Structure 1
Amino acid sequence: MDNFINLIKLSVGSETYEDILAWQSSKRAQTKDGLPRHVTRMWPKREAEILNGGSIYWVIKGVLTCRQRILRLDEVIGSDGIRRCAIVSDPDLIRVQTALKRPFQGWRYLKPADTPPDLPKGRTAEDPLPTELNRALAEIGVL
């Protein structure tokens, strides 16, 4: 049994892997120490498992595309006084074998057994399955 858990999140507004890189390199998306962060309303209850080797997996336009190792969770208090969670991640964005994902709100936990494998370093893409086959496999829970 794995002793860590991952998160999965839609990258709203991103069209491509490069869009995530561009956003995360902006000062607005970084911590004071220059690391990329994503601020979310909810604080994960499984914080210890996330910080024990978990990653955040990014879904771009319905396709799980890449991941980043989560380094820490920072408390952020908004101008409205509400406590939020900043998911601080490694700047290295790792491409993964793509998989279709249905839309969802917020983030979800993603078990290590359900994560796609990383693509070899330097490999920017893979030969995708035909869209209809990929969708059919996703609908029956194979992908």
Structure 2
Amino acid sequence: MTIHIVKLCVGADSVEDLAEWQIGQIKRAKTEKRPHIAPVCGTRMWPKRVEDVLAGGSLYWVIKGVISVRQRIIAVDHVTDNHGPRCGLYLDAHLMRTVPQPRRAFQGWRYLDPKDAPADLGEAQGGADLPEHLRRQLVELGAW
């Protein structure tokens, strides 16, 4: 059964910030000849439901209090970063914007049931061409 993960995107003010940071990660991975040439999110805790996460699960990023984007999780493996050895959630490089969904701050990550996950933002919902700050304001006003 597929399960998703939701995590705060600390240090990024927008989806564009996240994309820039991940482009740098991919460049470093190529230079260092790592086994996975993909963006990676290091986290202290390992998911106990790894098989479910890898069965089509995505990482939903909370940016400035709103789930705004998701990335498919392609691998879960050991990683060593500036915090030491950790769990690495390796992600598909494609950032898929989602219908904005407010989220309160929390520590670490949480599982996200597919029925509770926001839909991908597409032509049908409208607003895909709006700047992120306007989408965020619409969510704050309760108009989305």
TM range (shorter): 0.7 to 0.9
Match of 1:133 among 129, 139, 142: 142
CA distance, structure 1, for counterparts of residue 118 and residue 66 of structure 2 = 12
Distance in 2, Cα, partners of 1:130 & 1:70: 26
Q: CA deviation at 1:130?
A: 5.6
Which residue number corresponds to residue 139 of structure 1? none
Distance in 1 of aligned mates of 2:139 and 2:18: 25
Distance of 1:66 and 1:111 partners within structure 2 = 16
1:39-79, CA deviations, whole angstroms, 9 ceiling, x for partnerless residues?
A: 11111001010000000000001011000000000112568
Distance 1:125 1:50, change over 3 A: farther
Aligned to 1:89: 91
- String of CA shifts for 1:16-52, please: whole Å, max 9, x gaps: 0000000101138864242000111111001010000
Residues 62, 68 of structure 2: 8 Å contact kept: yes
Count, aligned residues: 132
- 1:23 has 2:28 as partner: no
Out of 12, 17, 39, the position equivalent to 1:14 is 12
The 5-angstrom pairing of residues 36-51 of structure 1 reads 36-51=39-54
SS at match of 2:19: helix
Cα distance in structure 2, aligned partners of 1:86 and 1:50: 13
Secondary structure of the residue aligned to 1:26 is: helix
Q: Is the 8 A contact 1:7 1:108 kept in 2?
A: yes
Aligned 8 A contact 2:71 2:93 in 1: yes
Moved segments of 4+, more than 6 Å: none
Structure 2 CA distance for partners of 1:60 and 1:77, relative to 1, 3 Å: closer
Unaligned runs of 5+ in 2: none
Does the aligned pair in 2 maintain the 1:29–1:38 contact within 8 Å? no
Identity %, equivalent residues: 41
Unpaired runs of 5+ residues, structure 1, are 135-142
Scaled by the length of structure 2, the TM-score of the pair is: 0.80
Contact persistence 1:55–1:67 (CA under 8 A) = yes
For residues 27 and 105 of structure 2, the distance between their equivalents in structure 1, rounded to whole angstroms, comes to 23
